[in-house]
Structure 1
Amino acid sequence: MSINKLYKITISLTFLAVCCCTATLQAQTEIQASAPRVVQTGERFQLTYTVNERTDAPEFTLPDAFRLLSGPGVSRSQQMQLINGKMSSSFSITYTYVLEAVTEGTHTIEPATVVFEGKKVQSRAVTIEVVKGAAQQQQPAQRQGQQSSRSEKLASNEDDFFVRVHVDRKSVYQGEAIVATLKLYTTLNLSGFEKVEFPKFTGFFKEDIETVTQIQLQRENINGRIYQAGLVAKYQLMPQKSGTIEIDPFTIEAIVTERVRTNDPFESFFGGNVRRFKVANSSPVVRVDVKPLPEPRPSDFTGGVGQMRLDASVSRNELKTNDALNLKVKLTGTGNIKFVDNPQITFPTDFEVYDPKKDVNVKTTSQGSTGVILWDYVIIPRHAGTYTIPAFSCSYFDTSSKSYKKLSAGPFEITVEQGAQDASQSIVTGPARRDVRDIGSDIRFIQTGDLDLKYKGSYFFATPLFWTIYLLPLLLFVIFLILKRKQAQDRSDIVKVRNKRAAKLSRNRLKSAKKLVRDNKDAQVYDEVLRALWQYLGDKLAIDQSRLNRERVFEEMREREVSEELISKVAELADLCEMARYAPTAVKTKSAEVYSQAVDLLVQLERAIK
């Protein structure tokens, strides 16, 4: 090996060591504590402390409620990474203690302390709830004699497996959101789910907060007994009507796997037989008392419920005629902000105002829907002068004070100067907001040169050609007016517009679903088919998005004399797609078949709904 090559290797190793030391020194010393939240008396469990530096075992005081059985067990871990030429390393050492719970109650293990380079570092305190231990297990010989009937007992025993729908509040105002949490509790060894039926949440507008693809179980104390609890789904519900609204039961059918001991030594050596059986449970009906909003409501009430703030600004206060300015109105806050109507603003008659562009940026969490709605108005003044956009207001219902609050913005002073314009031209604007037209060049000069003169007594007036030329433009103008009026009526008839576009929009979504079928993206196929179905029915039946639910859709279909068989097909397809979203293993129908069913169903609906 040459001296130059040896020199390069030495330099590289030195650089690598310096980078590792630098990365290690830059890391902040931390100690993390971990233990179960709930244990039983007599149960053994692990208390672990993880430190990201090489230190001695942590020092801590153990309460009398726990007995130290062994420890600390020590394990180390070290990782090195080279990313984009930068070296980083991480090191951790874990100390594990085995404890036994002795006394019932809620007990706290005070923060543990380690010393690194003369500095003390503390962990967080660990709180553990200790409940009364379960009764002693039966002797093996007795258990073996009872295993034949255990499956039947467990299948009907709610103490071992049950589901619940928890709501954070049971008394709210109309439009005030609540959080519904769907959870399961079990002491059994679950291996899968056969059937999952979610509540329909009739009377609520539902938004997903958290939907899990794989249920994670954690310990919880329920009435003195430890269960493995798992979150299935979490929704934000917004009541759309007042009165008592019931949340339908939530049902799960699960598969339990257990090992069965046997006297056969050969089978015992391999763990014994495995027995599988099903357990099912439905949650009780949950009732929510929804109070109507107080009367009388303010005249400027726009439907908001929660806590909100209104701001407004103009892009400029001075401009020339036919130039554009922007009025931006911003509504921020929490609550049903998505359902707030546009503010009512009175503009000067000399201003041409276009429909506002609405931008909604709202995020839904367990604390409610929070975000911003921005309305952007484009305004074009047509005449010079000084104008005022008067102050405007909107009211909302404040859930904290249980009263209506008024929000206001403005006024805004706008100075408009005459813009540059040819004196021989004039500007004409119509009520339909057509483009500016130039009519100043329609006067022609007197014709000179060779003239086509006629003999006296020969007249073009009153000839057939004269009447044809004279009346044809008038006839065309009348036809044009009739067509324009019909077009305006069609555009103003929102129900008719939505009815016409229903099939087109649903076909576009089904095209997307067909592409997803070819790409084998089954989960997205079910979601796209479900959206296509509800969007089609909402547009075809002229149901607003805020009031779109199964009960309203089926009621409208019956009013339009749609057969019960077709309504049942709609319900079955919707249930199949929703089950595929939340319990894909329980769905046996392939995504391609679901797509074909959706296409056939939409064709039948298009024929049935007029």
Structure 2
Amino acid sequence: MIKHFYILLLLLSNFVFAQSESIQVAVSGNTVTNNDIFQYQISVGCKCDLNPPAFIDFDVLGQNEGSMQSTTIINGKQTNTCTRTITYNLRAKKKGTLSIESASANCDGEKSKADGIQINVVDAEEAFNASKGVAPYFYEVKSSKDEVFVGEPFTITFSLYTDKNVSEIVNLMKGDAIALWRQPLFDERDPQHVFEQYHTKVKGKDYSVIVLTQELCFADQAGTIHISPYYGNAVESYDIFNTRYREGYSNSLDIKVKEVPVSKPENYNGMAGKFEITHSISDTDVKVGHAFDMKIKVSGLGNFNILKAPEPDYFFSADTFLCALDSINDQLAITEKGLDGWIEFSYVITPKVAGNYHVKPFAFSYYDWDSRSMKSVTTHEFDLKIKEGKAPKIENPNGEVEVQEVEQDIHHISTGETTVFDNSDFIFGRWYYWLLVLGPFAVPFFLIIVSRKKSKVSDEELIKSEQKNTKKTVIKEIPKLKTLDNKEGLRQLKNLIEEYFMKHLQIGRSALSKSSITQNLKSQNVDDSHISSFQNIWDQLEIAQYAPLSDKNTTEIFDETAELIKNLNKLI
């Protein structure tokens, strides 16, 4: 029974409605798992006051709103209608039969109320296990280890099991988790990335397995870490009039995290793996006021993500030294066994008081995965000899008390008349002299100021500028595409209008589709005739991917697209 139910869940796509004359509500499915995110939608007149349900038994994970206007003419009578649609993304808080209370609206004094809807919430893990080997596809997330120590690496792999090949991965989302550090082992968004794929049998059924994401993980604290389901969406096929998707949620995971099974020294802060530490110092015999550098480098394999720079006052007293962390450099590779490489901390130290100083070593303890024991690494201690700065005294040209020359570059400043030139000279000291001297520097400075003011545009202005450029580009490029052969011209035309809608409707490429563009055009009150024209062009371009079009049909598509873009440029 559960097997048949889960297959039904995968194939279910239509909304289930409950309505009254003035308000309609719908859900994307009456039966869901406790991991699923489903949609609850309310449609009501634009001028109506809406009172939505409280969603007591559900978490509201997000909502969006849109509106649509339509005009009908019956027997010469024109009727204008505006409908507002609010969609809520929900997830059940518990299993069982749950109720979404009724929604109500007040439309020009007329009150209406939609019926409540019951949702049957079943156990996600039971449904997931029942689907394996039965459903045409399912998503699964696995961990390389069920139990780990704090700081011990493990990997999480998210895969799609499918009995048919898919042509594109369009959207991936990882599940939430607390007290877990994780980084991807590869960038699945990289256009050059090729997804790993292999074949396997599950309960006797053949599946092609596509590895979608793989992450290196470190647990930050002991306890049980719950990893929520991952989400995937892949294109099964681009059909002529309808694209079929394989989307859904995976199972969830629980990872047991244990404390390291040894006593913890005071200088243990959760580091685990294998590490070495070195230090270097630029000079140990310096003068007061002379800065020198000190570097501490930690290298190895482990959870570098929690390594922090030693505090400067650990090494030097603020009364005798000025010490500051200058930079942190690293070269780390993300591997299945942990972060591999090094981190280097650079400090700048300036002595303030002469004397002989002993700098104590820096050390920290870490848990060694291989030996299952606590180990420690430490730097070498060293001595510093700080001397007073000595310099010859120089004559004071102002007749005041003598001061000591520091670093042989600070001298007394004479305040008397200079003998270089006199203000009464014909050239030197006059206003046109300063104009000649400063003019060449002032002009570039002025131009830079003007240029920077022009460049300070807001994000909104930048988007508008890009949209304006796209409008011009599309109109100019369409006639050029006509000169290409039909197949190549139509391929480039599809890319061109995709770029147009991405810029003007602010839709990401992964979310770009016929339905998303249509919905956005409706929300911007674009006429139905223009929307119908767009849908026809989109369908024709998809047909062209599978079957060649005649020269006449190709020319008509180019002409219709040019006309559509001209009309849309006036509206969006």
Query: Could you tell me the TM-score, scaled by structure 1's length?
Result: 0.41
The structure with the largest helix share of the pair is: 1
Q: TM-score normalised to the size of structure 2?
A: 0.44
